[in-house]
Amino acid sequence: MDSALLTLAAVFAAIALAPLLAAWAKRVMSVPLPVVEIALGMLIGPAILGLVEPGGLPQQLGRMGLAAIIYIAGYELDYRRISRRQLGWSTGGWLLSLVLAVLAGIGVVVAADAAGLEVAGAADMSLVTSGVFVGIALTSTALSTAMPALRDANETTTPYGRAIVAAGAVGQLAPLLALSVVFGGRQIWWSAIALVVFAVLLLAAMRIAARGLPTWARRVMTTTMHSSGHFAVRLVVFMIAVLAAVSVEAFDVDMLVGAFAAGVLMRQLMNGVDREERELTEHKFQGLAFGLLTPMFFVSTGVAFDLRGLFAQPLALALVPVFVLVMFVARGFPGSLVLPRGSSARDRVAAMFWTGVGLAVVVAVVDIAVQEGAITSVLGSAMVGAGMVSLLSFPTLALAVRPQPARQALPDDAGA
């Protein structure tokens, strides 16, 4: 049998089985679908069955899946419900997270190196650089993967939920921006200027997009909504591809920043579209994203996961809970600063769990760091493992810490 066909068959089998296994696992405990998909990727990857090797078409499609995740995060972010004060506290909280996480990352890397663990993937890579990569990854918030749990808890429309979404949006985008500025191909000052120009152009594009789609485009969208044309879905894919390419080629920022911008702009364009057609378009794209692209991302992440190396080095395995603690404290505490005034201790601890969840962006940063030789695949796997643990446990702990009665008395004023 052709090896490429065998690879695709194994990957698609994992994608198909993941929801069934997740549903079966709910009898014992709730396991997030991405965790199941990563586990199946490990199963078919070199660590266990060896049916699929890292790289190739699955990894390329997986990168598209990550772009779809970031696009959806940008699309679901309703700026009209986020105050400037919330945005300011979210940004300030993330900057504090960056300082704390980078210091923790450098400390962990130096300590691990002194204990004999190989942490840098290239001989000429300094431990400080490796620590900065680690720190940036640990400042992320997996807003897109935490949103379903927030939505199930009916929190997305509450003052508390809006504060978490604001902190999560910054926590999902800011690490990618920091990575582009600090480790881009240009001088830091030039990267910063390019980023400012990109932001200004995005704001201008948002004002234009707020007018909605042209009449002819709405007509085409309506006439192809129930046909094989699917103009709206093709428009979404086009915007992601174009803005991802522009962000990389013209501004030297990560393609995921462009994907986030595409989501923000598409949300503006769709505001004037009939509600039924807008929801149908959302469902169709989500079917493509959650049915194929994002599972491909998580499965390919599992394939590349260095499970053998992680278990072969007890010190690396011991770093998993260390990274989980850093995510909870260094990211969670500053993230909780966005809560409304008068929030209780329970509210703040729960917010630390919500904003400390990290997986998708952690994987993206780890992938870049391993390719650049800043960290080894074993250290990267420890970080991805910590992201999996956070996704598996933090939302459940957040809901346990902040039970239903506490949600009724939360003040409505944003800022802490």
Report the C-alpha dihedral over residues 70, 75, 81, 82, rounded to 10 degrees.
30
With beta carbons less than 8 A apart as the criterion, state whether 375 and 113 touch: no
Q: Tell the residue number behind the tokens 């899946």, with chain if given.
A: 65
Whether pLDDT at 413 is above 70: no
With beta carbons less than 8 A apart as the criterion, state whether 32 and 392 touch: yes
Q: 377 — phi, psi (to 5°)?
A: -65, -30
Whether pLDDT at 405 is above 50: no
Q: Rounded CA gap, 329 and 321, in Å?
A: 12
With beta carbons less than 8 A apart as the criterion, state whether 142 and 173 touch: no
Question: Which alpha helices (H) appear in 210-274, and where do they start and end?
Answer: 215-224, 231-249, 255-270
User: Domain 3-407 is in which class?
Assistant: mainly alpha
pLDDT digits (tens, 9 = 90+) for 118-161: 888 787 788 999 999 999 999 998 877 777 777 777 777 778 88
Q: How many CB atoms neighbour CB 16 within 10 A?
A: 12
Lowest average pLDDT, out of 12-26, 218-232, 285-299, goes to 218-232
Contacts of 229 (CB under 8 A, 6+ apart): 220, 223
Alpha carbon distances (Å) from 122 to 12, 135, 370: 34, 18, 9
pLDDT digits (tens, 9 = 90+) for 255-276: 888 999 999 999 888 877 888 8
Contacts of 102 (CB under 8 A, 6+ apart): 131, 132, 135, 136
List the one residue out of 248, 254, 255, 242 whose CA is nearest residue 205: 242
List the one residue out of 99, 89, 225, 78 whose CA is nearest residue 167: 89
Query: For residue 335, is it left (φ>0), alpha (ψ between -120 and 50) or beta?
Result: alpha
pLDDT digits (tens, 9 = 90+) for 209-224: 888 888 888 888 888 8
Q: 175-184, 277-286, 404-413: which has the highest mean pLDDT?
A: 277-286
Confidence category of residue 73, pLDDT binned at 50, 70, 90 = confident
Q: Rounded CA gap, 97 and 327, in Å?
A: 9
- Who has greater pLDDT, 233 or 124? 233
Q: Rounded CA gap, 376 and 382, in Å?
A: 10
pLDDT digits (tens, 9 = 90+) for 17-31: 999 998 898 887 778
Task: Name the DSSP letter for residue 230.
Answer: -
